[in-house]
Structure 1
C-alpha cells in the first residue's frame, strides 16, 4: 500500500503524494543552541531519522533540511551571562548537538542552514511581504498583518479573536493589531544586528524558516516537521507568511511529533525540568535511548522516567541475545510448512507495512518482538538452521531502519581487557585457585560487569546504572 501520513493541517491520514514523483523534500525546525541539548531535542531527530530511512527503503530520494536558529533573545541573554560572543555560544552548542546525534546514529541532514548565514534571503523575503501590503514597518520594526490572512488559525485550530482572550499582549509602538507578529526587530545597543531597509536589527523567529525553506527546497516542499509545541505560534505564523509570499500552500504535509514529558509536563530548558542528553547517554547505551524515544507512535507523548527506560532495555536484551546467536548463521536452506516459518518469511512485509502506516514505530517493534518469539519456536521444533538464517536476515533489515542493536564500534578496549580477565578466571577455576578467581570476579564487578558462572565457564555482561545489563 502507499505510505500514509497524518497531516496536522487537514487532521487526517492521506497517501504520500510528492511534488516530484520518487523524491521527498523535508524541512524540520532545529534547535535554538543556547544551552546543552536535552532528551526532548533528541526525539524529533530520531523520529525523522527513521522516517528518512523508511522513505529511502521504499525507493524515494530524500532531501532533508534542518535549520539552526543561531541568533535569538535566549542566545543573547545566555552569552551575556557567560561573557562570550553569541556566535561562539551558538556554535559550541551546535557542535555538541552534532556529536550527541552521532551517538544516537542519526544520519546527518543534507543541509543545516543557520539564520546568520541566510540574512540576505530573509531580508529580501520580508521586503517582498512589505511590498505586497502583507506586512508593515513601524519605528524600525516590521510586523505581519495577521488579519489579512483569512486562513490564519486553521493549522492550530484557533480563531483569531480567541488567541488574544485572557492573554497579556504587549502592544508595541506603531502596531496595528495586538496579534500582529514581528518579522524584523529593531536593533538594540550592544546586540548583534544587520543592516536592512528598516534600519539595523535582526529577524523575528518565524520568518527564518519561511526564507530558508524557500532557498533550499523551493516554493513547495513535501513535509514540514517539528514538535507539537511549534504548531502555534511558530508554524501557524510561518504558514501565513509563506502563503502571503507564494500565493499558495507551501507544504504538502505538516508532521508534528508528540512531546517528551515528565509527570505530564512538557520537558524544556526554560522550565528547568529537562534531562540533558549527555547525562542520560552516560547512564544508558545509545541504542537503548534511541529506541526508547520511538517505542511509541511519534504523535503520542512520551513520559520520560528512568524506570521506563530500564524496562525497555530489558526488552531489547531479548533481541540482542538472539542477534548474538544468529549473526554468523548461514542462510536458510529449506522451506518449512509451519506457522513460525511463515511468520519469519513474511516479516519484511509486515515491518514495512507498519512503517507505511504513518511511520508506526510502536507497531514495527511489536513485529520485531513477535519475530524473535517465532525464531525460538522454530528452534524448538528442530529447525535451528532455517530459523536462525531467516532471523539473521530479518534482524539485519529491521536494524537498518530502527537501529536497535549496539554499534560494533562500541565494543571498546575495556571490553577486550575484561574478556582477558574472564579467560584468566576460567584458568584459575580449572586450577582450583579460587582465591585468585574470586579476586578477578571482584575486579570485574567493580568495573561494571555482571559475572555469570556456568558449566561452560564464566560469561560477563556490562551492567547499566540502575542494575540492567547491556548485552551478553
Structure 2
C-alpha cells in the first residue's frame, strides 16, 4: 500500500471485568468520543502520564490553562467518578533551551563580576555582541551598523505599533527591540553599570554563551541543574498557588539517564534505531513501518515530512559570510548520515558547552522525545490509560513517543493479533490566546502566572472558572465578554453562599425565631430542581468532562434557589411568608461539594457551605463566622432597635443623626470587617440578615450600588431636562401662526391660509404634497389656538 494512502490502525479498547463505563472521552487517537475502560482488570485504578514543564523560564497563563485544566479533569476522575488515579508528571530539566539559557546566564553573571565598570573592553564586547545578534536576526539588513541603526529603527514604526503580529514578526520585533536597547546604552555618555548591563543583557548573554561555551566540560552538570532547579521550584509554587494537586509520581530526566540509555539500547536491539559515527542515535522510521507499525497515529498527515522533528530552539548564530562554523558543519554531516529525513534523534551527542553522560555511543544526553517514553514505561509499564499534554505536542512529540514505546515493547503486528498499544487515550489541551495570538515563551508574548495574580486582574478561583467555562479541548481566547461571564458566575455564587450562610446562622441562633421545616409544593419543586441539576451535571461530566455545561447547570440551580428564597421571604406585603432553610441548605451543600471536586476549595467545618476565600486553596471561614456570629448579632439587634426608634421619631433632629450613624455602621465600618447587614422589612419586625464574606467584594458591591444609583439619578435628571426642552420647544412652536409656518425660502406663493401653492423653482405644489402640508397646518392650528386660549 502506498505510504500516503495508509490509514492508522483501528483503536482497540482494553478489556475489563467492570461493566461499561459511564464516562466518554474525546480521544485524540480515534478523533472520536470513546467509552473509558481502564487497563486495570478491576476497573478502578487509572494510570495517567502528563507531559510536564520544560523548566527554562517562568510559567505563563498558557501553562496555567494546560495544568489547571488537567487538575480539574484529574479531580473529576478521582473525586467524582471514584477512580484511583496514579498521576505521573515529568520535569524536563535537560533540554536545548535549558542548556542555552543556563550557559548564557552563567557567563553573563561571571562577566559582570569581572567587569564592574563599563570600560573600553566592555564597549568593544558589546559591539561584537551586536554584530552576532544582528547576523542571527532573520530579516535584519546586513549593512546596518550601530551608527546607522537608530535611523533604520525609525522605519519600523508600523511593526512596533501593530497590536497583532504573526510568529515571525513577533520574533523579529523582540530581537530588534533588544538591539535598540543595546544601541541606546552604547550611545549614553557615561553609562551606569547596573542600567547598562540591564540594557544589553539580551545580546551580551547570547554572545557570551556562544563564544565561551567551550569552557564548560561535559561533566559540569551543576550549571544546568541549578538553573533548571530554580525554574522548577517557581513552577511548583505557581501550581500550588493555583491549588493544583501535586503529581503522584514526579520524574526528572536528569534522574532517569540510565533508564533512558537502556531504553535506547533496546530499540537498537529490536532493529528500529541506529547509531552514527560521533555518538548520535536515530530512530529508523522506515524500519519501524516495514515491521508493520504505523507512524504518526495522532497526526497521520505529518508522517511523510521532516518538519518539527527537532526541538524548537534558536539555531547557532551563523558565521560571517562565506564561512561555515565547525558546529554547523558537524550538524550538516550528522544530517547527511540519517537514513531518512523522517528519522529523529533518540540520543544526542554532547556538543561543545553541553552537559553529557557516558553511554555505549559516547558522551551525550536524551533526545527530545525519548525521555517521556522511557520514564512513562519505567513507571507505568507497557500499557497505561491516559496521556495528556498541550495540543502542540501531538506531533512530533507524542507521535514519536508512541513510535519509540512500540519499538521498545515490540510485537510484530504482522504476526501478532495483539500489537502493542502503549496508550489507550490521548487528551490534548487547547491553546490559550489573547487577541488571537498564542502565548509562547519563545515569542516572549506571555503573561506569567505570577504577574496575572499579583496584578489583581486574576485570582486562582477566577482562572479555574475561566478554564472550566472554556472547556479543555478547543482553543480559548480571553476577551472582555468572556471575562465578564467569569466575574458574573463568581459573583452570583458568592452572593448565594453569603445569603445561605447568613440564613443558616440565623436559623441556628437561639435569639432567632424557631425555623419551620416544611414540604409544600415550593420545597418539593426546589428538591426536584436539585435532582435535575445533579442528573444534568452527571451527564455533562460523563460527556468527556463538559465542565462548561456543568457550570451552566449550577448557575441555573442557584437562580432557582434564589427565586425560592425571595418569593418566600417575609415582607409588609406578605407578612406570613416563610421558607424551609433545609431545602436551601441542601442545594448549597451539593453545589459546595461539586465546587470542592472541581478544586475550588471549601470553607471548613463539619458541614461546609461555600468556597474558600478567592485567593486561597482552602479556608476556615465557616469556623470564624460561627464564633463571630453571636457578637455581630448582638450589635445588629442593637442597631435594629436604634434604627426603629429613629424612624418612628424621624422628625426629631437627633433621630435623623442616629439614622446616619446607623447607616455608617452598616455601610462603612462593618463592611470593612467582612460583615454585611442586609436590612429587611423592619415594619414587621424582620431583623437585618447578617452576611459574612470578603470585605473587598462587599465594598466593591457597595461602590457599584452607589455608582448605579448615581447613574440612575443622572439619567433621571437628563430625562427631566429633556422633557423641559421638549416642552419649551413645543411652547415656542405653538406661538407660530399657522398662516406663517410655511413662509420659507422653500416656497414662492401661498394661498389666503398660508398654504404653499408654488415652490421656489416656480413649480406648482402637487395635490399629494398640499394634502400633507394641510395636515401639518391643521395640527399647528390646534396648538396655536390652545396656546391663545391658555393665555387668555
* Per-residue deviation, 1:72: 0.6
Separation of aligned partners in 2, 1:116 and 1:271: 27
Once the two structures are superposed, what CA deviation does each residue of 1:303-336 show, in whole Å capped at 9, x if it has no partner? 1346633541232110011112224738995545
Once the two structures are superposed, the pairs formed by residues 346-365 of structure 1 within 5 Å of their partners are 346-365=532-551
Separation of aligned partners in 2, 1:394 and 1:262: 35
2:139 matched residue in structure 1: none
**Contact between 1:261 and 1:301, CA under 8 Å: does it hold in 2?**
yes
* Per-residue deviation, 1:105: 1.3
Q: RCO greater where, 1 or 2, for CA within 8 Å and sep 6 or more?
A: 1
Separation of aligned partners in 2, 1:279 and 1:160: 40
1:214 matched residue in structure 2: 377
Separation of aligned partners in 1, 2:659 and 2:525: 49
Q: Is residue 224 of structure 1 aligned with residue 406 of structure 2? A: no
Once the two structures are superposed, what CA deviation does each residue of 1:182-230 show, in whole Å capped at 9, x if it has no partner? 1011012232111100000110110000011011111100000011100
Unmatched 5+ residue regions in structure 1?
Answer: none
1:401 matched residue in structure 2: 597
Once the two structures are superposed, the pairs formed by residues 46-65 of structure 1 within 5 Å of their partners are 46-56=68-78, 57-65=80-88
Separation of aligned partners in 2, 1:471 and 1:352: 36
Q: Is residue 250 of structure 1 aligned with residue 270 of structure 2? A: no
1:193 matched residue in structure 2: 356
The farther-off stretch of 18-27 and 290-299 is: 290-299
Q: Is residue 137 of structure 1 aligned with residue 275 of structure 2? A: yes
Separation of aligned partners in 1, 2:517 and 2:90: 49
Q: Is residue 388 of structure 1 aligned with residue 584 of structure 2? A: yes
TM-score, with length taken from structure 1: 0.86
* Per-residue deviation, 1:66: 0.7
Q: Could you tell me which of 367, 370, 379 is aligned with 2:565?
A: 379
* Per-residue deviation, 1:154: 2.5
Q: Could you tell me which of 318, 322, 345 is aligned with 2:531?
A: 345
User: Which structure: greater strand fraction?
Assistant: 1
**Contact between 1:287 and 1:403, CA under 8 Å: does it hold in 2?**
no
Q: Could you tell me which of 321, 336, 347 is aligned with 1:184?
A: 347
Separation of aligned partners in 2, 1:110 and 1:458: 43
Once the two structures are superposed, the pairs formed by residues 28-39 of structure 1 within 5 Å of their partners are 28-39=50-61
* Per-residue deviation, 1:101: 1.1
TM-score, with length taken from structure 2: 0.52
Once the two structures are superposed, what CA deviation does each residue of 1:96-140 show, in whole Å capped at 9, x if it has no partner? 111111121111110111000011111000001111120100121
Once the two structures are superposed, what CA deviation does each residue of 1:216-271 show, in whole Å capped at 9, x if it has no partner? 11110000001110001100111111111112010010111111112222211111
Once the two structures are superposed, the pairs formed by residues 285-364 of structure 1 within 5 Å of their partners are 285-305=459-479, 308-327=482-501, 329=504, 334-337=518-521, 338-364=524-550
**Contact between 1:451 and 1:461, CA under 8 Å: does it hold in 2?**
no
Separation of aligned partners in 2, 1:173 and 1:376: 71
1:160 matched residue in structure 2: 303
Q: Could you tell me which of 258, 283, 287 is aligned with 1:148?
A: 287
The farther-off stretch of 197-206 and 374-383 is: 374-383
Once the two structures are superposed, the pairs formed by residues 234-245 of structure 1 within 5 Å of their partners are 234-245=397-408
User: Which structure: greater helix fraction?
Assistant: 2
The farther-off stretch of 64-73 and 346-355 is: 346-355
**Contact between 2:675 and 2:690, CA under 8 Å: does it hold in 1?**
no
SS at 1:113 equivalent: strand
**Contact between 2:600 and 2:612, CA under 8 Å: does it hold in 1?**
no
Once the two structures are superposed, what CA deviation does each residue of 1:4-60 show, in whole Å capped at 9, x if it has no partner? 001111111111111102111000101101001001111221222222222222221
SS at 2:88 equivalent: strand
**Contact between 1:25 and 1:217, CA under 8 Å: does it hold in 2?**
yes
Separation of aligned partners in 2, 1:129 and 1:470: 67
Separation of aligned partners in 2, 1:200 and 1:38: 34
Separation of aligned partners in 2, 1:181 and 1:468: 58
**Contact between 1:354 and 1:361, CA under 8 Å: does it hold in 2?**
yes
Separation of aligned partners in 1, 2:360 and 2:370: 16
Separation of aligned partners in 1, 2:345 and 2:295: 15
Q: Could you tell me which of 237, 247, 257 is aligned with 1:119?
A: 257
Separation of aligned partners in 1, 2:519 and 2:659: 49
Unmatched 5+ residue regions in structure 2?
Answer: 1-20, 110-222, 316-330, 411-419, 509-515, 569-578, 602-610, 626-630, 643-655, 681-687, 706-792
* Per-residue deviation, 1:145: 0.9
Separation of aligned partners in 1, 2:485 and 2:284: 50
1:22 matched residue in structure 2: 44
2:93 matched residue in structure 1: 70
Separation of aligned partners in 2, 1:126 and 1:162: 23
Separation of aligned partners in 1, 2:48 and 2:401: 15
Separation of aligned partners in 1, 2:430 and 2:76: 20
Once the two structures are superposed, the pairs formed by residues 373-452 of structure 1 within 5 Å of their partners are 373-382=559-568, 383-404=579-600, 407-408=612-613, 410=616
Separation of aligned partners in 2, 1:433 and 1:244: 80
Separation of aligned partners in 2, 1:469 and 1:212: 54
Change (3 A) 1:381 1:208: same
For the pair shown, which has the larger CA radius of gyration, 1 or 2? Answer: 2
Change (3 A) 1:136 1:252: same
**Contact between 1:285 and 1:470, CA under 8 Å: does it hold in 2?**
no
SS at 2:470 equivalent: coil
Q: Is residue 262 of structure 1 aligned with residue 405 of structure 2? A: no
SS at 1:161 equivalent: coil
Separation of aligned partners in 2, 1:369 and 1:269: 36
**Contact between 1:49 and 1:107, CA under 8 Å: does it hold in 2?**
yes
Separation of aligned partners in 2, 1:374 and 1:82: 58
